[in-house]
Amino acid sequence: MNFPNDLMYTKSHEWIKMQEDGTALVGLSDYAQDALGDLVFVNLPEAGDEVSAGEPFADVESVKAVSDVYSPLTGVVDAINDNLLDTPEAINEAPYDAWFIKVSDITDKEELMDAGAYEAFLKTIEE
């Protein structure tokens, strides 16, 4: 599994990449896409929608099940990754390139972990 050091992670397996302009990209971790299996559908919010830390903002459908994707941030959806609507398998192929939403006007964050803390967390749930 791959966990880039320039990202932050949540216990619900989303990653966050803070941008220089104060916005953040949000996606699913390598662990999450692997656990879900082959993704066949993604349901995303619309630009302008508000998201709340700890609340679902999207869902993904795999051959196994439908799963919610939780926002690690409170803010406004600045943009969505339209490519995922047509090619949800991109999440399986390159989870850290396949961002879901770009969030602006960030007012709150969930407890975020760096790559080392996230890997340590994963070991506790795999035991």
pLDDT over 90 percentage in the chain? 92
How confident is residue 126, by pLDDT bands cut at 50, 70 and 90?
A: confident
pLDDT of amino acid 47: 96
Contact indicator for 104, 76 with CB cutoff of 8 Å: yes
127 in any annotated domain: no
Domain hosting 101: range is: 8-122
Helices marked H in 6-127 — which ranges?
30-36, 83-86, 89-93, 115-126
Is residue 23 situated within a structural domain? yes
89 domain-assigned:
yes
What residues contact 14, with CB distance under 8 A and at least 6 apart? 26, 27, 28, 29, 32, 69, 70, 71, 72
Instruction: Identify whether 3 is part of a domain.
Output: no
Token pair for 89: 């398998």
| Closest-CA residue to 90 (of 67, 127, 60, 58) | 60
104 vs 1, higher pLDDT: 104
pLDDT attached to residue 89: 96
The model's pLDDT over 57-84, given as tens digits with 9 standing for 90+, comes to: 999 999 888 999 999 999 999 999 999 9
Give how many domains the chain has, as a whole number. Answer: 1
Q: Which residue has the tokens 């890997």?
A: 119
75, β-bridge pairs = 51
Condensed to tens digits (0 to 9), the pLDDT of residues 16-28 reads: 999 999 999 999 9
CATH code where residue 80 lies: 2.40.50.100
Tens-place pLDDT, residues 83-106: 999 999 999 999 999 999 999 999
Task: Flag whether 2 is in a domain.
Answer: no
pLDDT of residue 127: 61
